[in-house]
Amino acid sequence: GIQVEQSPPDLILQEGANSTLRCNFSDSVNNLQWFHQNPWGQLINLFYIPSGTKQNGRLSATTVATERYSLLYISSSQTTDSGVYFCAVEHAGANNLFFGTGTRLTVIP
Amino acid sequence: ETGVTQTPRHLVMGMTNKKSLKCEQHLGHNAMYWYKQSAKKPLELMFVYNFKEQTENNSVPSRFSPECPNSSHLFLHLHTLQPEDSALYLCASSQDSFRGGTEAFFGQGTRLTVV
């Protein structure tokens, strides 16, 4: 099956700092999503981004499908950004979203 | 609020109990899913329903029994579970199956503890 690797596994930031999270995948994909899992377990949709670049406030994402990676940028981080960020991909024909192991972000005041 | 609601949020059950998890989506989607999230492991797909028909069963033990009475509701019936089944169970929905390239929305999850 497809491999989805996220880096770094853990990240600690001072409030106000910027960060880049990376998602590498081992094969072509039709679908890529970024999620934020809050401390209560809820998965919040951040971006649906199989290719190209999108921005939403302090967050933006870029997927370069031909090179099999996606990046999530967080600018001016806030304590409420803490949690686990997941990348998930749909591998052609699998009818499944394959999740990476996540990046655990902690933003300290 | 993602438009996908799961109940209960927390459940503690004995190994001989029978319980059910409920998921409801208000998005008009045609596909619904159950995922399992265990500690230290990536989310794992359990079941897929498309237009109320089960299209995927990811080698899930028979002590987990899904039911999809209509496109808006999905249940996961649990019986004679094991302690290793303790996990966060997440329901998701999407407009169409993932093969078509569609965005998924998740519920808040049910945190299950088997004692």
Residues A29-50 have pLDDT tens digits of: 888 999 999 888 899 999 999 9
B111 vs A97 pLDDT, higher one: B111
DSSP code per residue over B88-111: EEEEEEESS-GGG---EEE---EE
pLDDT at A66 over 70: yes
β-sheet bridge partners, residue A107: A13
Q: How sure is the predictor about B97, in pLDDT bands with cuts at 50, 70 and 90? A: confident
Closest CA to A50 of A35, A28, A75: A28
Element housing A67 (H / E)? none
* Residues B11-61 pLDDT 10s: 999 999 999 999 999 999 999 999 999 987 889 999 999 888 888 888 899
Q: SS3 for A66?
A: helix
Q: Is the pLDDT of residue B73 over 90?
A: yes
Q: Which residue has the higher pLDDT, B2 or A67?
A: A67
| pLDDT for residue B102 is more than 90 | no
User: In chain A, what residues touch B98 (CB-CB under 8 Å)?
Assistant: 30-31, 90, 94-97
Q: Supply the mean pLDDT for chain A.
A: 94
Name the residue facing B88 among A35, A41, A90 (closest C-beta). Answer: A41
pLDDT score of A35: 97
10 Å CB burial of residue B101 (0-12, 13-18, 19+) is middle
Average pLDDT, chain B: 92
Residue A40: its pLDDT value, please? 86
Average pLDDT over residues B78-83: 95
CA–CA distance, A61 with A23 (Å, rounded to integer): 11
**Does the pLDDT at position A68 exceed 90?**
yes
Q: Which residues of B touch A97 (CB under 8 A)?
A: 43, 45, 92, 98, 104
Output phi, psi for A67, to 5 deg.
Answer: -105, 5
Banded pLDDT at B99 (limits 50, 70, 90): low
Q: What percent of chain B has pLDDT over 70?
A: 97
- CA torsion through residues A38, A44, A47, A49, sign: positive
What residues of chain B lie within 8 A of the CB of A95, using their CB? Answer: 48, 55-56, 97-99
